[in-house]
Chain A
Amino acid sequence: MSPTVALFWTFAGIAVASALLCITRKSPVASALWLVATLFQLAALFVILDAQFIAVLQVLVYAGAIMVLFLFVIMLLNLGRPGPSDIKGPMGLAVATLLAGVMGLQLLVLVRAAPPADVTLPPGALLGASQTQGMVAAVARPLFDAYLVPFEITSVLLLASLVGAVVLAKRQL
């Protein structure tokens, strides 16, 4: 086993464990923190998978901004204090396990399926060719090139969510 693979499985293992802990903790704060841990492991995985730019974005945006926002709200609403558990009872547990298990098995089967042969490569070329420009440029150039319209729409989306969040969270309109 090459070191890359070993590292991959290490980080993958920790990610899965963190995710498991995330969904089973009674305290929302604990859940949030375990999610942060999972995100960090995923960032590591991204690096291993040759998506360095995305890995950094993961840490900066996801773990750094989104999860911080989560924690802000949790603290704001004083949900960190121990209270009655919000995990469902045995019936709910059974249903969850069953459904999630079935879905997991189905996904497992689907993973083994090969992608269709007529999938065309989108404009962006192979990663190998863009290694010459550097990682960031490799991702950024198609962004302003082929995917300009989604890019601009995303900025409008962010504006909308900004306004929406402000309005929704006001005490008095």
Chain B
Amino acid sequence: MPGTALPHLWLVPILPLAGFAVNGALALLAPDRKRLVSVVGVGVLGGAFAVAAAVVLELARLRPDAPLVFRYWPWLSVGALRVDLALQLDQLSALMLLVVTGVGALIHLYSAGYMREDPGYARYFAYLNLFVFFMLMLVLGANFPVMFVGWEGVGLCSYLLIGFWFNEKVNADAGLKAFIVNRIGDFGFLVAMFLIFRHVGSLDFTDVFTKAPATFASGDRTITAVGLFLFLGCTGKSAQIPLYTWLPDAMQGPTPVSALIHAATMVTAGVYLVARCAVLFALSPVASGVVAGIGALTALFAATIALKQWDIKKVLAYSTISQLGYMFLGVGSGAYAAGMFHLTTHAFFKALLFLGAGSVIHALHRAYHATHSPEDAQDMRNMGGLRAHLPWTCALMWIATLAIAGVPPLSGFFSKDEILGAAFARGAAHPAWYLFWTLGLAAALCTAFYMTRLMLYTFHGPNRTGDAERAHLREAPAVMTGPLVVLGILTVLGGALNLPELAGGHLAGALARWLEPVTHAAARLTAPSSATLDLGMEWLLIAVAVAIALAGVVGAWQLLEPARLVPARLAPAERGIGRLLWKKYYIDELYDAVIVRPIVWFSRDVLWRVVDQRLVDGVAVNGTARVSQALGWLGSRLQTGELGLYVVLFVGGVVLVLAAAVR
């Protein structure tokens, strides 16, 4: 029935919020009612997805040219600033809506199985629901402040969930690291908001994006600054160079959290931001170049680190950083549809990979728990040959691996290829983009290699888990494997969302056409130099990409020998280049020495010891007290009880009075 779903858009974020409230109350009052928590926690997500689907269907039927804005209430009204609590539905936010609620619902269902034995079950679902609420506020926000509320909120939930098992210091530290590094990015976002408000006078998306081309000349310093500061926010939230260091540490949280927040949704917020602000980035070629360049560089950088990681989740974390780099390369090249396409396909296969890894870890954990072994359940050197024990997980993860490597006809191939094609095309007008394309290609090679390595060491070759434990290795329950199957199907078929013209015929470019009302404003501003490639060139690029992907997969299969691995506790330390990669180029140590230590020193030895203790406490607080005391002591000297002193004071007073008379 037309016109019934759209007014209920507000239900989509409110359902998870209600879930948070209920689960939160249960966490405090009745934490062992796990069945109720599951029903509420997963149910609200399912409901949200259903409403979202209905809303998007109606949007598709309506085909509006401008975004639909729903204002709920006036929030800020200060001077010239008017900000409302408003949600905006257009094709871009509709896409994000479906990804967040859809993949989110699957991961919630998976969590019901994965976290079943955890005593903090209710608290987990409360936080997870809250996260989805904030993420939806982020993508549905109609103005920068509402989006920022969501932005900060997901950061908060990330902190809460990374440090979910806060009893261990390393987990709490990881949560703290994520939050603090994100804050640096948030500073950039705020400065950009200030600049926008100052020059445009409004913070509503519709206002800003319609007025921006008139307010800023292309290449203007201010708009470049805006773009760069916004991107600083993105490097924080989406883990790009230089603010990516929190994401590998974030793997300390439960695996479904890593799947939802640190693969499919929160980290993609930066990409969404760039796509949303496409008009602003199109007005500043420098900013767009920086976005694409950093994206390409990060893609390769993270991919090389993943080559030598032994923790299965760390490999996937660096893989996420690398794939996010591709997305930024896409949106930085003006190919906003390509970037969003990769965001969507990545959500499918990366969530699948993480959840699959979760099943593996779950199995190993149970095995080690049964034999009371202290071994690391996440180290690939303790795995091997799991294909026999977890066949479904193995098959599904292979699908995801081939997708991420870019093997056709899986979805990852189409999205990655489109991004590389857009970068190459832009190279004709701006030669720097040829470099970016090269970096992207090199990263693709590494991606194929390390993902195959992961699969090889985990599922193939001899098993290194230990003889006693092997008996306990078992496939995950249906509640966990079910979502994996759904994601697998989406990974295979997802390519259909945006087939290239070569292959798709009338289906081609569906996503690009869907997003056209949102991206055309920016596309108009970008110089027509990013024209499409000719057919021959396109086929050549595809051939190169496929060749690289296959080279990576086959190369890894041939060169790596899983039989030569030993279990983690016996494994020798890495040396040489391997050590450099394993230690992630020592970047964390560098940041620690150059940034963290000086700040800590300054805070402790200057701000605390000197300013706080000596100046504020000593001079201002105690000093005032001492002055009062001194004045009081002085006053007390007037009342000694000695008449001699009284007489002296008396005469002194008379002298003073006479002095007045003499004058």
A interface list, Cβ under 8 A from B: 88, 92, 95, 99-100, 102-103, 106-107, 109-110
Instruction: Bits for B646-663, please: 1 = Cβ < 8 Å to A, else 0.
Output: 001001101100110110
* Interface SS of A by simple majority: helix
Total contacting residues, chain B, CB less than 8 A: 10
Measured between alpha carbons, how far is A95 from B648 in the docked complex, in Å? 8
Measured between alpha carbons, how far is A31 from B459 in the docked complex, in Å? 120
23 inter-chain pairs at a CB distance below 8 angstroms, sorted by A residue, are A88-B644, A92-B644, A95-B648, A99-B648, A99-B651, A99-B652, A99-B655, A100-B651, A102-B655, A103-B651, A103-B654, A103-B655, A103-B658, A106-B655, A106-B658, A106-B659, A106-B661, A106-B662, A107-B658, A109-B662, A110-B658, A110-B661, A110-B662
**With a CB–CB cut-off of 8 A, which chain B residues contact A88?**
644
Closest chain-B Cβ to A66's Cβ sits at a distance in Å of 21
Q: 12 new A-B pairs (CB below 8 Å) besides A92-B644, A106-B662?
A: A88-B644, A95-B648, A99-B648, A99-B651, A99-B655, A102-B655, A103-B658, A106-B655, A106-B659, A107-B658, A110-B658, A110-B662
**With a CB–CB cut-off of 8 A, which chain A residues contact B658?**
103, 106-107, 110
**With a CB–CB cut-off of 8 A, which chain B residues contact A110?**
658, 661-662
Tell me the nearest residue of chain B to A108, going by C-beta: B662
* Interface SS of B by simple majority: helix
Tell me the nearest residue of chain B to A105, going by C-beta: B662
**With a CB–CB cut-off of 8 A, which chain A residues contact B662?**
106, 109-110
Measured between alpha carbons, how far is A88 from B654 in the docked complex, in Å? 21
**Residue of A88, A95, A106 most packed against chain B (CB within 10 A):** A106
Measured between alpha carbons, how far is A37 from B400 in the docked complex, in Å? 126
**Residue of A88, A99, A107 most packed against chain B (CB within 10 A):** A99
Measured between alpha carbons, how far is A92 from B647 in the docked complex, in Å? 12
Tell me the nearest residue of chain A to B657, going by C-beta: A106
Tell me the nearest residue of chain B to A95, going by C-beta: B648
**With a CB–CB cut-off of 8 A, which chain B residues contact A103?**
651, 654-655, 658
Closest chain-B Cβ to A108's Cβ sits at a distance in Å of 10
Tell me the nearest residue of chain B to A92, going by C-beta: B644
Measured between alpha carbons, how far is A49 from B539 in the docked complex, in Å? 137
**With a CB–CB cut-off of 8 A, which chain A residues contact B661?**
106, 110
**Docked complex: B612-663 residues within 8 A CB-CB of A:** 644, 648, 651-652, 654-655, 658-659, 661-662
Interchain residue pairs A-B with the least CB separation, the first 6: A106-B658, A109-B662, A99-B651, A106-B662, A103-B655, A102-B655
**With a CB–CB cut-off of 8 A, which chain A residues contact B652?**
99
Measured between alpha carbons, how far is A53 from B659 in the docked complex, in Å? 36
Tell me the nearest residue of chain B to A99, going by C-beta: B651
**With a CB–CB cut-off of 8 A, which chain B residues contact A107?**
658
Closest chain-B Cβ to A134's Cβ sits at a distance in Å of 39
Closest chain-A Cβ to B275's Cβ sits at a distance in Å of 87
**With a CB–CB cut-off of 8 A, which chain A residues contact B654?**
103
